[in-house]
Amino acid sequence: MSEEVERRYRLIREAAARDGLEAVLVCATEYTGFEGAMFYLSGFRILHRYAYVLLPLDEPPTNIFPGEGRWVGDHSEGWVEDRVFAETPGKWIAERIRARGWKRVGVHGMDLVMPVRDYVALPQDKVVRWDQQFDLARAVKSAAELESVRESVAINEAGVLAVVEAWEPGKTEAELMAVAEQAFVSRGTRRLTMDMVLTGPHGAAVPEMRLPDEQRRIAEDDMLIYGLEVAGPGGHWVEVSRPICGGEPSDESKRMMEAWREYHEICGAAMHAGATAREVHRAVAKPFVDRGWKLGHVTGHSIGMTMIEHPRIGEAFDVELREDMVCSMHPHVISEDERTCLYFQDTWHVQRDRAAAFSGLAIDFYDPRSAAGQTSSGKVHAA
């Protein structure tokens, strides 16, 4: 077993022991962004359906698969040797809990991931929800994990720049998205991508996040903001996006960009070890709310092998950040009349005294008509 895997098991078991657990059950599904906990603890990549990792405090882990998934996925690629294929995994898990005499098993994914047929088979007096605790136990990234994040960011940036280069009036939103997908998949994301777009005419994007349209053809002055989220070969999700406009951004969009640059500077200073998620949210929201705008989407969140991990960066989360956590930040700024929005995504490395964005792409509108390597203001962006 590698040093990295031993570290992961140690972190989860130590947290479980503090909470009086005798085992941890991790649920994962092919639903985008919810497969990562399985990969984190077992090295198995879900191709279809769902799966579990059962990690006791004092014995080796077990991978549990639904029987119909026996030939779905390469089950030998992970490092967990004990593999079970059960007709109803929940019944097998319940029997293992009874056989071991466990009184308290923590479950990660009980609310959003576990199928009903398995949940109803569990002994309800023996299992407890353990989502936030699991996420906090894995929140601080190792050097190997941080390198995986950097690789994912490089892949994400390649997709952003590929869209800028491929932009052309008359192409559809989906055609441009396909260019990014080609960049992603060819660099090792496989299918671990999640795509959306915010768009609108006359240099202003409307607030609704939508799937790229196969019919709608872009005009020169359309504002396009592709939400690009990927996980590279190491399995770590990241989020990087930039707005693209071949025409003149609207006056409201320009004012929002000014606020975004302020936000970016504040984020670097405010998001450090010892700050709480609530404090960071309040600090970075200030340039937007002071101008009378509202935020339509969560400000940010911890991110790792699961796309959205605890804690969120928001008013309700008084969780202290720690050095070497990784957070995705993406305030969704919406005008008072709800006709204009601006949305960036960046992935940040929380450090002792400040935070650093992994991406070097300029905070600006990207003008696809300008010289290669320049944003709409003429700045050269660093990839």
115 backbone dihedrals φ, ψ, rounded to 5°: -65, 150
DSSP state of 103: S
Q: What is the distance between the alpha carbons of residues 347 and 326, in angstroms, rounded to a whole number?
A: 7
DSSP state of 208: -
SS (H, E, C) 276-341: EHHHHHHHHHHHHHCCCCEECCCCEEECCCCCCEEEEECCCCCCECCCCEEEEECCEEECCCCCCE
- Give residue-wise pLDDT tens across range 43-52: 999 988 899 9
Is residue 329 within 8 A of residue 299, CB to CB? The reply is yes
Q: What is the distance between the alpha carbons of residues 316 and 336, in angstroms, rounded to a whole number?
A: 24
Q: Which domains does the chain have, with CATH numbers?
A: 3-137 (3.40.350.10), 143-357 (3.90.230.10)
Query: Quick one: tokens of 65?
Result: 């698969």
- Give residue-wise pLDDT tens across range 257-310: 999 999 999 999 999 999 999 999 999 999 999 999 999 888 999 999 999 999
- Give residue-wise pLDDT tens across range 301-339: 999 999 999 999 999 999 999 999 999 999 999 999 999
142 or 112: which leads in pLDDT: 142
- % of the chain surpassing 90 pLDDT: 88
- Give residue-wise pLDDT tens across range 166-190: 999 999 999 999 999 999 999 999 9
Instruction: Tell me which amino acid residue 330 is.
Output: H
Q: What is the distance between the alpha carbons of residues 361 and 226, in angstroms, rounded to a whole number?
A: 15
Query: Quick one: tokens of 201?
Result: 């005419």
How many residues does this entry show for the chain? 383
DSSP state of 228: E
Q: What is the distance between the alpha carbons of residues 228 and 232, in angstroms, rounded to a whole number?
A: 13
- Predicted pLDDT at 382: 44
Residue with tokens 């002055």: 221
Residue with tokens 């047929």: 117
- Predicted pLDDT at 376: 57
Q: What is the distance between the alpha carbons of residues 12 and 124, in angstroms, rounded to a whole number?
A: 22
- Predicted pLDDT at 298: 84
- Give how far the C-alpha of residue 323 lies from the chain's centroid of Cα atoms, to the nearest Å: 19
Residue with tokens 């698969």: 65
3-state secondary structure of 113: coil
